[in-house]
Structure 1
Amino acid sequence: MLPVQDYIDHFKEMWAQSPETFPEFPKTFPKEDKLRHEQNFDRFQKKLKELQNVAKVQQLRNDPAKTFFPMFKSFLQTVFDFEAGHLEIILSDEFKDVSKDFFYRARAFGPELKPEDIYQGMRNVWIMNGLQLMAEKPVKITPSVFAYSMIYPYSDNLLDDPGIRNDQKQAFSERFDRRLHGLPEKPVNHTEKQLFRLITMFEEEFPRIEFPNVYESLYAIQQGQTNSLKMIADNGLSDDEICTICFEKGGASVLADGYLVAGELTREEEQALFGYGVYLQLLDDIQDVREDSLAFTKTIFSCLPENDLGRFVNKTIHFGRMALEEMRCFKGVNGDDFLGLMNRSIETMIVESVGLNHTWFSKNYLNEIEKVSPLHFSYLRKKRTQSKSQRFALFQKYFESAKSKIEAD
């Protein structure tokens, strides 16, 4: 058994010790900088629209390295102010190739999936690619990287669907849990059939007898998902119980990422990955505070009074900085670029989420945190109304031609 409860306790203590004061940031963006970034953003969107031209789409398909990636690099530099060392990591040839490879495989495996479903899985691929770098493993789509990332668009969407009754979700979780434990289980629908195929991919790469902790990590994430069902509606959970469930779900998810990348981990590596997962879960809770509240789903953030949310965002940032320091136990984390990229990316999304969920924060807090945003919050909200997800829009544009090619074949 993995010591999941020990990790929960460790990071609950870290959370309790994390201050609620406004964090220090390395850089602020005055109005003139924001306006320049916004102009660059608009120019980038204009270039994306030009790619709808048939000739441009063909050019993108034939040579994305010359068409899309230089443009995307410029976007990250001139809009979000990413550093050169960070861009060398996320725009390396390895990362470019695996993104394209995952899309092709995902379309072949699940042609019924929407592009946004594949993008959801892609986000986990990028996390696992980062873990491959840290563990000094080749950056590629292994069977387990593919399978675990595909589980997200299937199982998470089912469990998060408010239109599916809680007892139906519970029954699904029980069947999935039995199959995950290697027991024979007959799928009752297409979603379960696909999920059981993905579990077979784990078993082929990591035989159960040789890699028991791989499956212990999968049992842990399944237990976390099952416990998270308790957070739906008013069920009398205390704040401490809500915190425990949130930490278990997030921490176990990335712990499973690590085992499906490396097969074996040290206790120190397990704990570090668990903390990284908790941090990502807190980010998700901030991003989804409005949706969780409307769906009566309890999280650390959605059940707080409005005037408390700023303090908890501060606390999350302080917590994340401490938690990510534990990632230095991995051999592949040699300098500050990798951890700097991780933290910069997450904090950028946290700040953006505050701006997009502005009604949940005090005016004073919004004024203060907007200073560290490369874009005005009003601009972010305008862009969000134009496109549900700017990141997804980039992904969709890049792979539109690939989708057409697959379907033509």
Structure 2
Amino acid sequence: MLPVQDYINHFKEMWERSPDSFPHFHKTYSSEEKFAHEHNFDGFQNKLKELQNVRKVQQVKSDPAKSFFPMFRSFLETVFDFDPGHLEIILSEDFKDVSKDFFYRARAFGPELDPEDIYQGMRNVWIMNGLQLMIEKPVKITPSVFAYSMIYPYSDNLLDNPEISNEQKQIFSTRFDRRLHGILEIPLNHTEKQLFHLISMFEGEFPRHKFPRVYESLYAIQQGQTNSLKMITQNGISDDEICNICFEKGGASVLADGYLVAGDMTGEQEQALFGYGIYLQLLDDIQDVKEDSLASTKTIFSCLPEKDLGRFVNKTIHFGRMALEEMRCFNGVKSDDFLGLMNRSIEMMVVESVGLNETWYSSEYLEEIEKISPLHFSYLRKKRTQSKSQRFALFQKYFDMPKSKQMAV
């Protein structure tokens, strides 16, 4: 079996020795620079509004110089200051092709899914595509990449639904666990039918007798999901247990990503991916601190007695930098570009999350960390709902187009 507890212990020790001092960043932004970036952001949003018209989409796409990806590249360069080496990874032809491929397949598989659900799965596709690069495999939508990314919209939405009782969630988790272990179950509802079908895709690509670690990684993520239900209750749970559960859930999730890409890995690679997953879980907890607190869901961040969570954000950034260094064990990480992209992307999301949840931080901390943001926090808060609605309106328009027109895009 996978030594999950050993990995948890390794990264708990790393967490304990991660300082809570304010991290060093290579770049800060003046107010004038932020205003310039915000002007570019507004320009990008105006172009997105134009793309919500199907006829305009066709007009823009008929001219490659005005196509979406060059526009998106400019957005990343002029708003978020991504380096050219980072952009070559994000905007490679392979990444563009898999995004389209996933959209088509997701819509065909789950026509009942909302654009938000498919976007949720798309984020995991991008993580797995990054792992394909690191493991030096072709960047594409394999059956397992598709299946694992589609599991998220179905299982997570059920487990996160406050209208479904904890007892019902436990029953679902038990049945899902049995199916993961190869025990055939008759689905009780549409969600189970879809999830059991996705598991069969794993089995088709990775036969159980040839790739046992693939399924051990899936058991680990399911166990982590099941244990995380303990954090929803009002019952007393120690800080050490909370840390264990958060680390297990996050680490096992990306470990499963790795196995469903590679089929097999070394112990060093297992541990590195486990740490990467923990870092992403800590990011999620920082982003959702308000929602988790209101829902009485316990995480490392939501249950802290301190009003100012700044030192724990600092600790997360220091932890993440150390954890990502372990990713150098992968052959595909031949330069600093890939790790730099991963680290900058996550740290910018952490900084943004602080700005969007300002009531959880002291004014002194907000003033200090806002210097790292390429955008004013007040601007981020103003644009939060607007940018989200525009993004999903664009997805909805894209999904409503006939496939023949999608192919032209």
Category of TM-score, reference length = shorter chain: over 0.9
Cα distance change of structure 1 residues 105 and 63 upon mapping to structure 2, 3 Å threshold: farther
Q: Is the 8 A contact 1:246 1:281 kept in 2?
A: yes
Q: Is the 8 A contact 1:251 1:276 kept in 2?
A: yes
SS at structure 2 position matched to 1:307 = coil
Please give the alpha-carbon distance, in whole angstroms, between the structure 1 residues aligned to 2:383 and 2:163. 29
Matched residue, 1:401: 398
Amino acid in the other structure paired with 2:234: D
- Residues 228-267 of structure 1 correspond to what in structure 2 (within 5 A)? 228-267=228-267
Matched residue, 2:381: 381
Please give the alpha-carbon distance, in whole angstroms, between the structure 1 residues aligned to 2:54 and 2:126. 30
Matched residue, 1:80: 80
Cα distance change of structure 1 residues 307 and 146 upon mapping to structure 2, 3 Å threshold: same
Please give the alpha-carbon distance, in whole angstroms, between the structure 2 residues aligned to 1:102 and 1:257. 16
Please give the alpha-carbon distance, in whole angstroms, between the structure 2 residues aligned to 1:65 and 1:86. 21
- Residues 141-160 of structure 1 correspond to what in structure 2 (within 5 A)? 141-160=141-160
Matched residue, 1:91: 91
Deviation at 1:62, TM superposition (A): 6.0
Structure 1's unaligned 5+ residue stretches are none
Deviation at 1:83, TM superposition (A): 0.6
Matched residue, 2:20: 20
Matched residue, 1:100: 100
Cα distance change of structure 1 residues 255 and 297 upon mapping to structure 2, 3 Å threshold: same
Please give the alpha-carbon distance, in whole angstroms, between the structure 2 residues aligned to 1:117 and 1:65. 31
Please give the alpha-carbon distance, in whole angstroms, between the structure 1 residues aligned to 2:386 and 2:398. 22
Matched residue, 2:365: 365
Please give the alpha-carbon distance, in whole angstroms, between the structure 2 residues aligned to 1:97 and 1:88. 14
Matched residue, 1:180: 180
Deviation at 1:385, TM superposition (A): 3.2
Matched residue, 1:117: 117
- Residues 10-409 of structure 1 correspond to what in structure 2 (within 5 A)? 10-59=10-59, 66-387=66-387, 389=388, 393-394=390-391, 397=394, 400-406=397-403
Which TM-score applies when normalising by structure 1? 0.96
Please give the alpha-carbon distance, in whole angstroms, between the structure 1 residues aligned to 2:277 and 2:396. 28
Q: Is the 8 A contact 2:52 2:397 kept in 1?
A: no
Deviation at 1:250, TM superposition (A): 0.1
Which TM-score applies when normalising by structure 2? 0.96
Please give the alpha-carbon distance, in whole angstroms, between the structure 1 residues aligned to 2:276 and 2:184. 33
After superposition, the C-alpha distances for 1:182-238 in whole angstroms (9 at most, x for unaligned) are 002111110010000000000000000000000000000000000000001321110
Aligned residues: 406
Deviation at 1:2, TM superposition (A): 0.3
Amino acid in the other structure paired with 2:367: N
CA RMSD in angstroms comes to 1.6
Please give the alpha-carbon distance, in whole angstroms, between the structure 2 residues aligned to 1:283 and 1:407. 38
Please give the alpha-carbon distance, in whole angstroms, between the structure 2 residues aligned to 1:362 and 1:233. 29
Please give the alpha-carbon distance, in whole angstroms, between the structure 1 residues aligned to 2:220 and 2:140. 25
Structure 2's unaligned 5+ residue stretches are none
Deviation at 1:100, TM superposition (A): 0.6
The more displaced of 40-49 and 141-150 is: 40-49
Of all paired residues, the percent bearing the same amino acid is 79
The more displaced of 4-13 and 232-241 is: 232-241
After superposition, the C-alpha distances for 1:87-117 in whole angstroms (9 at most, x for unaligned) are 0000000000000100000000000000010
Deviation at 1:308, TM superposition (A): 4.1
Q: Is the 8 A contact 1:22 1:314 kept in 2?
A: yes
Please give the alpha-carbon distance, in whole angstroms, between the structure 1 residues aligned to 2:165 and 2:396. 35
Q: Is the 8 A contact 2:133 2:139 kept in 1?
A: yes
Matched residue, 2:6: 6
